[in-house]
Amino acid sequence: MNWNALQTALADEGYVANDDLAMAVHLAMALGRPLLLEGAAGVGKTDLARVLSTVQDTQLIRLQCYEGLDAAQAIYEWNYQRQLLSIRAAAEHGETGRVVEERIFSEEFLLERPLLKAIRQDTPPVLLIDEIDKADEEFEAYLMEILSEFQVTIPELGTIKATSRPIVILTANGTRDLSDALRRRCLYAHISYPDRTTELAILTARCPEVDAALASQIIGFVQSLRKEDLEKKPGIAEMLDFAAALVGLGIADLTRDPVVLQASLATLLKTQTDRDNITTEIAQRLAGKAA
Amino acid sequence: MSQVTKFAARDPGPAARMAGFMAHLRSNGLQLGVGEAKAGLEALTHTQAANPKEARHALRAVFSGCAEDAERFDDLFNAFWLNGGRVSEKTMPTTTTGSDSVHTSRNAKGGEAASGAGAPTTPDGGEDEAETDGEGKLVSSVIRSLTKKDLRDLVLPEDIAEAEKIARRLGAALRDRRSRRRKQARKGDQIHFRKLIRKSLSTGGEPLHLPMKHRPDRPLKIVTLCDVSGSMTVYARVFLSFIAGMMRSDEAADAYLFHTRLVRIADALRDKDALRALGRMSVLADGFGGGSRIGASLMQFSKTYARRFVDGRTVVLILSDGYDTDAPELLGDALANLKKRGCKIIWLNPLKGWDGYEPVARGMAAALPHLDLFRPANKLADLAALEPELVRL
């Protein structure tokens, strides 16, 4: 599949990717390298992985990072309860230590976590490592080993090599600066807020029930809202919620009913300060301009 | 403009042109190695390399590592490949690319810092700036000091050595006690199951001894923001040597100076030669001893650098007297913003050491509610005395 075909395939699943992004995804698959996506919250970083797994007709394995994430939650862990029971049972049957040891440190007692799971699939899955910047540096270093070697070493079992190379997508939004080493191993794409045409295409792909006039109003409104001084700018997900809310409320024109518009801003503005800053007058002015 | 560069006839071919392009990118500050060159060529085989649009997208994905790189890439690409149809004399630039000392500079976001990172290590050579700056601008207390002070006159190597010791002690006192990744320990709050299973094998599944794990303390990162405005000049010697010592004793520490604007000095101060580091800092600290815009500088910090370098395991250390020409609200907002990143904020005010000092400077009053610790400090000994307080933080 070349990158244009990929772009079309993504679009068919409702994900409008610009040329840059489509090319980056294409190369990530062609070169077998991880792809690092950066961008503000709500521009569709995570969604890309989901849609890509649909396009490739493969499994999506997701690892959500957080501070303090460790190997036991990311790679594998032994099933301790079963191991303990098994040792006790073996003792009652009079089995020797060696045999028991072999048994309890076998695959049967291994709990796969996302990273190990991802490299042991028959068909290459999409591995989404979400918000890698939330995890700490130690984990980043650990991850690097897996992403370059595609193998995991378990002391009791030996080295497990990948049966298939997953398509790895990492996302970050600047909670912490990532190490250069990790950046170097990845292809990079920065996703910014889409321009008017792209966002309109996204809206029509995702919510075909919105009529053209309202759709253009919604996009105009959201785009100008992003230019305001907000703590948290509305992303694409918020824009889609907003559109869905307006359709649900049966509104055909943003300027018609200031009260309803103000109420439906709940889908776009997620902090108290932002709600206070965008008063009815400002919302009306923006809606008026968008119309 | 979309005219493809014509290469000289003696030019050896596509691979050499790519090598030339790599050299072009490197000389413009992108950090690229042989691995990237290989990946770039490989990427081109998966696309229609002759199509500039495709090549541009493909190479951008491979060669850029962060948002700034990606943004600049277009211009760099145009300059090399779409040079308005002009003939490129040589594919390979003859000049050897810049020194390796820039390998930490990519983190230095923002114009001042970036230009500083590439700046030569000699402090002087900017005399003509005084003339260019003097063209009838309105000057009030926010005037930028035009006289450049060489910080090497202010800070002595002995001070730095002393400060290094203190900084190391303070760094050790600041530990994060909320780490979530547990480690094996003799006493702990959770059972170390992996070890337990191993041990109980020998006793037939009877866990006779319970190995434990606990949360170890982790070091905190210290980010220092030092006010070098006119009112602070007398204390500059103490604070700057403290910062220099801090940067030398702690790999993770980060430092900034501010007067009417904010400058990142971390990379400059990491220079192995302590005096040369100060020289480099002097270049960056242009405007030293001028007016102070604490609010604006801190706001700029919280909106740019802090997003990348400040997190829950960071202590932000502000060294300032709190005399601000900006509105006090701005300072309050900036600190509130900064606080949202989960960091601890410590403000060391040299004036607080005076008898009968009250934080009457309006900026200081606005800042107080956001501070975790507010202490006097105008001697190295004062900084050293902070140790027990930091342990409790």
Please answer whether residues B261 and B291 qualify as being in contact, where contact means their C-beta atoms are separated by less than 8 angstroms. Answer: no
Same domain for A267 and A201? yes
Domain edge (last residue) among A190, A218, A249: A190
Reply yes or no on whether the pLDDT at A103 is more than 80: yes
Bridge partners (DSSP) of residue A154 are: A158
For residue A183, which residues of chain B lie inside 8 Å, CB to CB?
65-66
Query: 3-state SS string over chain A?
Result: CCHHHHHHHHHHCCCCCCHHHHHHHHHHHHHCCCEEEECCCCCCHHHHHHHHHHHCCCCEEEEECCCCCCHHHHCEEECHHHHHHHHHHHHHCCCCHHHHHHHHCCHHHEEECHHHHHHCCCCCCEEEEECHHHCCHHHHHHHHHHHHHCEEEECCCEEEECCCCCEEEEEECCCCCCCHHHHHHCEEEECCCCCHHHHHHHHHHHCCCCCHHHHHHHHHHHHHHHHCCCCCCCCHHHHHHHHHHHHHHCCCCCCCCHHHHHHHHHHCCCCHHHHHHCCHHHHHHHHHHHC
Nearest to B180 among A31, A67, A84 (CB): A67
Q: Does the distance separating the beta carbons of B308 and A177 come in below 8 Å?
A: yes
**Residues B30-49, mean pLDDT to the nearest whole number:** 87
Cα B61 from Cα A222, distance rounded (Å) = 29
Q: Does the distance separating the beta carbons of A24 and B57 come in below 8 Å?
A: yes
Domain edge (last residue) among A128, A158, A190: A190
For residue B107, which residues of chain A lie inside 8 Å, CB to CB?
177
**Residues B35-61, mean pLDDT to the nearest whole number:** 88
Amino acid symbol at B230: G
Taken as a whole, chain A contains a residue count of 291
Same domain for A277 and A218? yes
Same domain for A134 and A15? yes
- The residue of B59, B62, B302, B305 whose CB has the most chain A CBs within 10 angstroms, and thus the best one to mutate to test that interface, is B62
Same domain for A205 and A240? yes
- Of the ranges A44-48, B229-233, B271-275, B337-341, which one carries the lowest mean pLDDT score? B271-275
Size of interface A-B (CB pairs under 8 A): 109
Same domain for A85 and A125? no
CA of A195 to nearest chain B CA: how many angstroms apart? Answer: 16
**Which residue carries 């691979």 as its tokens?**
B15
Cα B176 from Cα A259, distance rounded (Å) = 48
**Residues A108-133, mean pLDDT to the nearest whole number:** 92
Task: Give the number of domains in chain A.
Answer: 3
Same domain for A240 and A265? yes
What confidence tier does B90 reach under pLDDT thresholds 50, 70, 90?
low
pLDDT at B151: 55
CA of B236 to nearest chain A CA: how many angstroms apart? Answer: 30
What confidence tier does B116 reach under pLDDT thresholds 50, 70, 90?
very low
Span B151-207, pLDDT tens digits: 566 667 777 777 778 887 887 777 766 666 778 888 888 888 888 888 887 777 778
Domain edge (last residue) among A134, A167, A190: A190
Q: Where are the beta strands (DSSP E) in B135-185?
A: 175-176, 183-185
Let me know the angle formed at the C-alpha of B109 by B244 and B115, rounded to the nearest 5 degrees. 75
Same domain for A203 and A128? no
Would you state the structure tokens that stand for residue B248, as one six-digit string?
Answer: 């030398």
B147 touches chain A (CB under 8 A): no
Name residues whose C-beta falls within 8 Å of residue A98's C-beta, 6 or more positions apart in sequence. Answer: none
* ipTM of the predicted assembly exceeds 0.95: no
Span A38-61, pLDDT tens digits: 988 888 899 999 999 999 999 999
Same domain for A119 and A91? no
Please answer whether residues B390 and B171 qualify as being in contact, where contact means their C-beta atoms are separated by less than 8 angstroms. Answer: no
**Residues B252-275, mean pLDDT to the nearest whole number:** 82
Question: What average pLDDT does chain B have?
Answer: 74
Please answer whether residues B301 and B256 qualify as being in contact, where contact means their C-beta atoms are separated by less than 8 angstroms. Answer: yes
pLDDT at B286: 65
First-to-last C-alpha distance (Å) of chain A? 41
Classified as helix, coil or strand, B216 is: coil
What confidence tier does B98 reach under pLDDT thresholds 50, 70, 90?
very low
Would you state the structure tokens that stand for residue B278, as one six-digit string?
Answer: 């100060």
Same domain for A51 and A149? yes
Amino acid symbol at B26: R
Please answer whether residues B144 and B290 qualify as being in contact, where contact means their C-beta atoms are separated by less than 8 angstroms. Answer: yes
Same domain for A160 and A68? yes
Name residues whose C-beta falls within 8 Å of residue A37's C-beta, 6 or more positions apart in sequence. Answer: A45, A48, A169, A170, A171, A172, A189, A190, A191
Q: Does the distance separating the beta carbons of B204 and A91 come in below 8 Å?
A: yes
B193 touches chain A (CB under 8 A): yes
Same domain for A145 and A238? no
B49 touches chain A (CB under 8 A): no
Cα B289 from Cα A169, distance rounded (Å) = 48
**Residues B367-375, mean pLDDT to the nearest whole number:** 88
Residue range of the domain that includes A269: 196-290
Name residues whose C-beta falls within 8 Å of residue B272's C-beta, 6 or more positions apart in sequence. Answer: none
Q: Output helix, strand, coil percentages for chain B, rounded to the nearest 5.
A: 50, 10, 40
**Residues B122-140, mean pLDDT to the nearest whole number:** 38
Please answer whether residues B190 and B179 qualify as being in contact, where contact means their C-beta atoms are separated by less than 8 angstroms. Answer: no
**Other Cβ atoms closer than 10 A to A20:** 19
Nearest to A23 among B35, B61, B201 (CB): B61
Q: For residue B258, which of B119, B152, B110, B92 has the smallest C-alpha distance?
A: B110
Q: Does the distance separating the beta carbons of B64 and A27 come in below 8 Å?
A: no
Q: Give the H/E segment covering residue B330.
A: helix B328-339
- The residue of B56, B57, B340 whose CB has the most chain A CBs within 10 angstroms, and thus the best one to mutate to test that interface, is B57
Strands B254-258 and B212-214: unpaired
**Residues A152-162, mean pLDDT to the nearest whole number:** 88
Please answer whether residues B363 and B322 qualify as being in contact, where contact means their C-beta atoms are separated by less than 8 angstroms. Answer: yes
CA of A233 to nearest chain B CA: how many angstroms apart? Answer: 14
**Residues B288-307, mean pLDDT to the nearest whole number:** 82
Same domain for A11 and A117? yes
B196 touches chain A (CB under 8 A): yes
For residue A187, which residues of chain B lie inside 8 Å, CB to CB?
61-62
CA of A232 to nearest chain B CA: how many angstroms apart? Answer: 13
For residue A2, which residues of chain B lie inside 8 Å, CB to CB?
47
Residue A5's alpha-carbon distances to A11, A97, A235, in angstroms, are 10, 58, 27
Q: What is the CATH number of the domain that holds A121?
A: 3.40.50.300
